[in-house]
Chain A
Amino acid sequence: DTGVSQDPRHKITKRGQNVTFRCDPISEHNRLYWYRQTLGQGPEFLTYFQNEAQLEKSRLLSDRFSAERPKGSFSTLEIQRTEQGDSAMYLCASSLGPYTGELFFGEGSRLTVL
C-alpha cells in the first residue's frame, strides 16, 4: 500500500457546477478525515468517518457539501453549486483507530472555481 491517494489532483470548474473528490485511505485504516486548506492557512477540519459512519461535521461543512464512505473504504466529498469561496485544497487523511496519534495525509485535491 502506497498511502492515501486522492483524485483528481486538480479541478477547475465554473461557479454553480458540482464537483466530486475521491479519497482512498490506507487499507487497514478505519478513520478517514477531510480537511480544507486555503492559501496561507493551516488545514481546517471538515468531517470525519469511523468506518462507514460519519461521526462529526464541522460548521464549515455547509449544506452544499456532502461526504460519504460506503462500506468503510474509499470516501467521496461532493460540493454542489460551487462558489468562488470554495476554491481551496481539499485534503484527505486516514488513521488507524483507536487513536494512535498520527494522521496520514494524501497529496490533496486542488479546486479552482472560476
Chain B
Amino acid sequence: AQTVTQSQPEMSVQEAETVTLSCTYDTSESDYYLFWYKQPPSRQMILVIRQEAYKQQNATENRFSVNFQKAAKSFSLKISDSQLGDAAMYFCAYRRPTGGGADGLTFGKGTHLIIQP
C-alpha cells in the first residue's frame, strides 16, 4: 500500500519569505500523480499544485513550485513571497493514474503553516 509522510507537523515563516514543506512517499508504481492541497481553517480543501510522475519538469503555479525527486520519492512544496493568506494546513497526496477508490488518493498527515506578519 502507498504511504505518504509529512515529517513537519508545523512550519512558521515570515511574511514575504520563502518556505519549503517536505513530503516523501512510498510506492512500487512507476506512473502516478502527486498533489499538494491547502485547507484553510474551516474552509474547503483546494488544490495547490499537481505533478505527473512521468514529467521530469517540476510543476509551477505562480508563487508555488515543487521539487520532485522521483528516485528519492520526494515531493516538496516551495512557497515564495509568503502571504498571510497562505496560512493553512497543507496536505501532500498521492494517486495512481487508474485510481478512484481506496487506492486512489492517499494523504499525508499535513503540515500546519503559520505566516508571521
Q: How far in angstroms is the closest Cβ of chain A from B107?
A: 3
In the complex, whether A102 has a CB less than 8 A from a CB of chain B is yes
Q: Are B91 and A101 in contact (CB under 8 A)?
A: no
If over half of A's interface residues share one DSSP class (helix, strand or loop), that class is named, otherwise mixed; here it is loop
Q: Are A42 and B110 in contact (CB under 8 A)?
A: yes
Contact residues in A for B47 (Cβ distance below 8 Å): 102-103
Number of residues of chain B lying within 8 A (CB) of chain A: 28
- Among B44, B93, B97, B110, residue most surrounded by chain A Cβ atoms (within 10 Å): B44
In the complex, whether A90 has a CB less than 8 A from a CB of chain B is no
Q: Give a binary string over B12-36; 1 marks a CB under 8 Å from any A CB, 0 the rest.
A: 0000000000000000000001010
A99–B100 alpha-carbon span in the complex (Å): 8
Q: Are A40 and B45 in contact (CB under 8 A)?
A: no
- The 4 closest A-B CB pairs, nearest first, are A42-B107, A56-B101, A105-B45, A107-B44
B interface, CB within 8 angstroms of A: 4, 33, 35, 37, 42-47, 50, 52, 91, 93, 95, 97-102, 104-110
A interface, CB within 8 angstroms of B: 3-4, 31, 33, 40-45, 48, 50, 55-58, 91, 97, 99, 101-103, 105-108
